[in-house]
Amino acid sequence: MRRPLTTAGLVLGLLLSPLTAAPPARAAAPPVYAALGDSYASGVGTGRYLDDGSDCQRSSYAYPALLAKARGWTLRFRACSGATIAHVRASQLAALSSRTRFVTLSVGGNDAGFAGVLTTCATPWWLLDCDPAVARARAFIRDTLPARLRALYAEVRSRAPRARVVVVGYPRVFQGTDCDLGTWFTRAEQQQLNATGDLLNARIAAAARAAGFAFADPSKRFGGHAVCDDPAWLNGLSVPVGESYHPNRAGHASGLLPVVRPLLRGPGPAARTGVASPAPLARTAGTRVAPFRKPDPRTKQARRAARRHGIDLEAWLRRHP
């Protein structure tokens, strides 16, 4: 027959129970999300930037910051204005590790010299010829860029073997109208630039999918919201000029975020073994590219070009103040 517990036994049991109870389960750490790339990922064009000790112009209005805040993820925000593939490899990949769960990456436009091409094509026809600049960019995109992307993507996968990676493309900038008084894009030039952007997206998408990454294409999403559209999700000629031809706050919240967000769900891939990777390129300095520059038709070069083409520059400037 079991003996009933005495009052002293009950008290002793209550005192000892906290010492023998199982410890509470720890809350899972939030997923780590690394946002890599260039100015289209850092948030250039949104008008307000984080005071993070860098000149990368990262913004809390950029789609990586909006996404991380909405989902409660730990954000490793490394995207940087002007970044090239070399800059990403040298200065941004340290954000990745085996703990990284999600990655977004936007890069390639600066390698193709797109800011310089825009600067060239924005000038009057008699000052600079847009066609050769576009042709050089297209040749680079076709012949050189794919190998650089493959090497970069292989390194991303090596550093973050279990992450879900989404490579983000670029929106079309123009819709056929140049409403800015300080630029001179013709309709034909805008079509060339859009076609070059399409080629860039196609090569980036092919390399991303070959690496097993998802590709987010914002082209359709930005339809009806290009430069000079109403509403425009891309800045035209802006002050400061470095924000020109970049997504504004609506472009990030309503344009880029909706095409990226659905692709960053679920677990990443199982770590792959025995997969051949492209031979790595030699690591170069973490270079960055200067942004778009406003054309200046008052320079000595412009005056010489005007004389060469038989243009009365002073009369031209009065018509184009």
Catalytic, 39? Answer: yes
Tokens read off for 158: 């090596």
Tokens read off for 172: 């079309």
The H or E element spanning position 194 is helix 187-210
Tokens read off for 312: 């009365």
* List 238, 246, 252, 309, catalytic entry: 246
DSSP 248: -
* List 39, 91, 106, 244, catalytic entry: 39
- Whether the CB-CB separation of 216 and 167 falls below 8 Å is answered with yes
The H or E element spanning position 9 is helix 7-20
What is the distance between the alpha carbons of residues 12 and 171, in angstroms, rounded to a whole number? 71
What is the distance between the alpha carbons of residues 129 and 125, in angstroms, rounded to a whole number? 6
Task: Classify the phi-psi angles of 176: left when phi > 0, otherwise alpha if psi is within -120 to 50, otherwise beta.
Answer: left
Residue from 102, 140, 109, 135 nearest 120 by CA: 135
Catalytic, 158? Answer: no
Task: Report helix, strand or coil for 19.
Answer: helix
Give first-to-last CA distance, the chain, whole Å.
107
Residues facing residue 234 across a β-bridge? 247
Residues taking part in catalysis: 39, 246
